[in-house]
Amino acid sequence: MAKKHKYIYDPVTLSYKRLEPSIWKQVGNVLLFLLSSGLFAFLFLFFSKSFLVTPREKELMREIDYLTLNYELLKNKLNTLEQALLDLENRDDNIYRVIFEAEPIPANLRRSSLAGINRYKNLDGYATSELVKETTQRLDKLRKQAYIQSRSYDEVLELIKNKNKLLASIPAIQPIANKNLTAVASGFGMRIHPIYKVLKMHTGIDFTAPIGTPIYATGDGVVIQDNGLGGSGYGLYVIISHGFGYHTLYAHMSKAIVKPGQKVKRGDIIGYVGNTGSSTGPHLHYEVIKNGVKVDPINYFFNDLTPEEFDLMLRLARQENQSFD
């Protein structure tokens, strides 16, 4: 298409002359064209970036959604691991270490913070930095707690190796057959005395049973003389020294079949239930003495009872009633 030209009428020559634009106007036209083109290109890029999603951006968005989902799943797994490790720590401190008379791991050691203020500085500067840092910190904390727990189990294992005798000796079963837990009549604590009818400290557990019911040694040990642990109101009784500061006492027996100095094993029959001494009915009065102090025997039936049975026995023994002696 031919370029259009502009003409003006010259009254002097009475003719039309072609109008030639000045060089500045031509430059201005070029600049105006370039400016308009640049503005249009900018507006096009701006709207395309704002409202149009490229295939690459769609792919990246899918990857972000996938990673976010997996971080949430990982977070849930960390919650489960933390709870499982907490359960292991509770068992370690409140069961295994109690059994072996070892001090629990101090809480400040289990929960001590990781060294280094700028430990995770290299994870800064990204859109997901906080999420990645939180996950990394939790993993490091779990790793540290698991290491401490592993060392604790190593220590408990050494205690087991060195205290096999303690495991066999410590009182750990009920002194009579009590499968349905119906024999527990009165527990440890303040109880109404059956004869004096006043509140008095009851230093053991009473098991009701017919006369002649077998009585079992609750741990390995040696039968000893009274040694100041018994009393006249106990009637016929046996005391076993288990070592490691433990003694057990079995009172109101109808017959004892062991003698002082005789060694017994856990589960051996040492005598039979009776109604001797200050007793108001056939029963066995059973005591556990630790380092000269009479303690609640209910805490020494862990070889005999499931957690549910222990809970039931605990409720029965805690009832405020009248003791049998």
**What is the average pLDDT score of the chain?**
79
End-to-end CA distance of the chain: 127
Are residues 33 and 105 located together in one domain of the fold? no
Question: pLDDT value at position 76?
Answer: 84
Question: pLDDT value at position 248?
Answer: 95
- Could you say which of 97, 127, 162 is where a domain stops? 162
pLDDT tens-digit readout, 45-63: 776 666 666 777 778 888 8
- The model's pTM is 0.50
- Could you say which of 162, 192, 214 is where a domain stops? 162
Are residues 229 and 287 located together in one domain of the fold? yes
Residue 179 lies in a domain: no
* The 3-state secondary structure of the chain, one letter per residue: CCCCCEEEEECCCCEEEEECCCHHHHHHHHHHHHHHHHHHHHHHHHHHHHHCCCHHHHHHHHHHHHHHHHHHHHHHHHHHHHHHHHHHHHHHHHHHHHHCCCCCCCHHHHCCCCCCCCCCHHHCCCCCHHHHHHHHHHHHHHHHHHHHHHHHHHHHHHHHHHCHHHHHHCCCCCCCCCCCCCCEEECCEEEECCCCCCEEEECCEEEECCCCCEEECCCCEEEECCCCCCCHHHCCCEEEEEECCEEEEEECEEEECCCCCCEECCCCEEEEEECCCCCCCCEEEEEEEECCEEECHHHHCCCCCCHHHHHHHHHHHHCCCECCC
Question: pLDDT value at position 113?
Answer: 65
Are residues 216 and 296 located together in one domain of the fold? yes
Per-residue pLDDT band for 273 (boundaries 50, 70, 90) equals very high
Q: What domain range includes position 45? A: 6-51
Which of the two residues, 313 and 216, has the higher pLDDT score? 216
Question: pLDDT value at position 271?
Answer: 95
Are residues 82 and 132 located together in one domain of the fold? yes
Range 115-129 average pLDDT = 69
Residue 324 lies in a domain: no
Question: pLDDT value at position 199?
Answer: 66
Are residues 224 and 297 located together in one domain of the fold? yes
Are residues 76 and 16 located together in one domain of the fold? no
Residue 172 lies in a domain: no
Range 93-113 average pLDDT = 77
Residue 58 lies in a domain: no
Range 305-311 average pLDDT = 71
Are residues 204 and 302 located together in one domain of the fold? yes
Residue 15 lies in a domain: yes
For 211, residues 6+ apart whose C-beta sits below 8 A from its C-beta are 254, 272, 273, 274, 275, 282
Domain count of the chain?
A: 3
Are residues 191 and 296 located together in one domain of the fold? yes
Q: Is the pLDDT of residue 325 over 60?
A: no
Q: Is the pLDDT of residue 195 over 60?
A: no
Range 171-184 average pLDDT = 82
Residue 57 lies in a domain: no
Are residues 196 and 221 located together in one domain of the fold? yes
Question: pLDDT value at position 114?
Answer: 64
pLDDT tens-digit readout, 129-155: 777 777 888 888 888 888 888 888 888
Are residues 192 and 291 located together in one domain of the fold? yes
Could you tell me the CATH number of the domain that includes residue 257?
A: 2.70.70.10
The pairing of beta strand 263-264 with beta strand 283-290: unpaired
Question: pLDDT value at position 49?
Answer: 66
Residue 56 lies in a domain: no
Residue 175 lies in a domain: no
Are residues 86 and 23 located together in one domain of the fold? no
Question: pLDDT value at position 165?
Answer: 80
Question: pLDDT value at position 110?
Answer: 78
pLDDT tens-digit readout, 1-51: 556 667 676 677 767 777 666 777 777 777 887 888 778 777 767 766 666
- Could you say which of 51, 73, 88 is where a domain stops? 51
Are residues 247 and 155 located together in one domain of the fold? no
pLDDT tens-digit readout, 287-298: 999 989 999 888
